[in-house]
């Protein structure tokens, strides 16, 4: 009989130990995930307490769904950022910022080309000459020099800014629509990024291949 009791106690002890370790690990990882999404990490403690209270695990489950589908602070344009208006022809923020003095200019001073296909099936090719330091990518028709039109509803008006300096090319998201560099999301708060070595740029649903002209 003693052996059976010891076995049951060992089993209960192991499961309890697993539960404690899992709870601590889960809370710690939830803390990190919340911080990555832009929320304060201590919210995970609240969720953990709710879950540990037994009946409130359903609340934690509901919070998981809410977290998955709500807007994260990470995706919000930062307040201090110059986010341009969304209407065609809107004034585009303050003076363009430079790429930030590349550590080493590239000897190749050819221009750049963005080539791809619109979702409608129409081909598109954009030429970016270094003679102009700043280009604005917009989903609207071009109305002035320094604008590059990508006529698709998924492209913001304006959508992004391209910066050319020292043989390098930079890209800055302006907050209206999604921007990706080789599959990595670029947010307005990331500022301008050197894309000289990038291959694929996506504005909204339009994917363009980047190459030298």
Partner 1 sequence: MTWVIAWLLGLGTLAILGLLVVHLVVALVLIIPTWRICTRAGFSGALSFFHLVPLIGWLVVMAILAFSPWPNGEASSSGPGV
CA distance 160 to 174: 5
CB 92 within 8 A of CB 191: no
Instruction: For partner 1, give the closer residue by CB, 6 or 22.
Output: 22
Torsion of CA 189, 194, 200, 203, to 10 degrees: 40
Give the helix ranges, DSSP H, for 38-103: 43-52, 57-69
Q: What is the closest distance, in whole angstroms, from the C-beta atom of residue 130 to partner 1 in the complex?
A: 20
Instruction: Tell me if 126 sits within 8 A of 148, measured CB to CB.
Output: yes
Name the minimum Å distance from CB 53 to partner 1.
Answer: 19
Instruction: Note if the bond before 50 is cis, omega within 30 degrees.
Output: no
Q: How far is the CB of 181 from partner 1 (least distance, A)?
A: 5
Distance from CA of residue 207 to its chain's centroid?
Answer: 16
6 membership: H or E segment, kind and range: helix 2-37
Which lies closer to partner 1 via its Cβ, residue 27 or residue 86?
27
C-beta closer to partner 1: residue 12 or 61: 61
Q: Which residues contact 193 (CB under 8 A, 6 or more apart)?
A: 170, 171, 172, 181, 186
Residues 84/91, Cβ–Cβ less than 8 Å:
yes
CB 105 to partner 1: min, Å: 18
- List beta partners, residue 184: 181
Min CB(147)–partner 1 separation in Å: 24
Give the binding site for partner 1 (CB under 8 A). Answer: 18, 22, 25-26, 28-30, 32-33, 35-38, 61, 64-65, 67-69, 72-74, 181-187, 189-190, 193-195, 198
Residue 84 or 195 having the CB closest to partner 1: 195
- Decide: 199 and 208 in contact? Cβ < 8 Å: no
Least distance (Å) from partner 1 to the CB of residue 140? 26
């Amino acid at each position: 009989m003693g052996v059976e009791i010891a076995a049951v106690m060992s089993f209960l002890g192991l499961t309890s130990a697993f539960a404690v370790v899992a709870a601590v690990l889960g809370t710690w990882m939830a803390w990190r995930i919340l911080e990555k999404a832009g929320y304060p990490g201590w919210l995970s403690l609240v969720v953990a307490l709710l879950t540990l209270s037994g009946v409130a695990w359903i609340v934690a489950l509901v919070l998981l769904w809410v977290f998955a589908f709500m807007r994260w602070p990470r995706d919000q344009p930062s307040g201090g950022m110059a986010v341009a208006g969304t209407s065609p022809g809107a004034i585009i923020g303050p003076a363009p910022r430079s790429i930030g003095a590349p550590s080493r200019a590239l000897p190749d001073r050819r221009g750049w080309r963005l080539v791809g296909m619109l979702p409608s099936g129409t081909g598109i090719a954009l030429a970016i000459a270094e003679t102009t330091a700043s280009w604005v990518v917009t989903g609207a028709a071009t109305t002035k020099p320094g604008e590059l039109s990508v006529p698709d509803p998924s492209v913001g008006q304006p959508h992004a800014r391209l910066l050319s300096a020292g043989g390098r090319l930079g890209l800055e998201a302006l907050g209206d629509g999604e921007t990706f560099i080789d599959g990595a999301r670029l947010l307005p708060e990331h500022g301008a990024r050197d894309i000289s070595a990038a291959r694929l740029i996506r504005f909204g649903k339009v994917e363009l291949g980047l190459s030298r002209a």
